[in-house]
Amino acid sequence: MSLYNLNVKSKLFVIAMISTIGFIFFFILSISELKSSLFQERESRLKSILELVISRADALSKTESEERAKEMVRSLIKSIRYDNDNYVFIFDNKLNVIEHPLKPELRKVRTSP
């Protein structure tokens, strides 16, 4: 069966279906691209925040005693919020919680790997 043998109603239906499928395909593609873009933007913001904390910690380590610098970095970590309700926390190499701004009782607790 070719398109030439279809009546006008059927031809319009075929055109509408092809258009709908194309629209759905591009909609899904654009959603995927938007999700990727938003993820990259969020990752970039978080990287900037972490770079700020690291540079501040480096500066403090050069001008303050080790204990004072650690306390000041902890204070900085407690105060940082991004995207309204997200926060930064610190683990050491052994996965011990060094600082958690919302749950201070987790300090010195080992997380499980």
User: Among residues 93, 98, 47, which one has the least CA distance to residue 73?
Assistant: 98
pTM of the full predicted structure?
Answer: 0.63
| 113 band by pLDDT with thresholds 50, 70 and 90 | low
Highest-confidence segment of 35-39, 71-75, 76-80, 95-99 = 35-39
What does each C-alpha distance from 104 to 39, 67, 78, 110 come to in angstroms? 29, 18, 10, 13
Residue 55 has which token pair?
A: 């540079």
| 111 band by pLDDT with thresholds 50, 70 and 90 | low
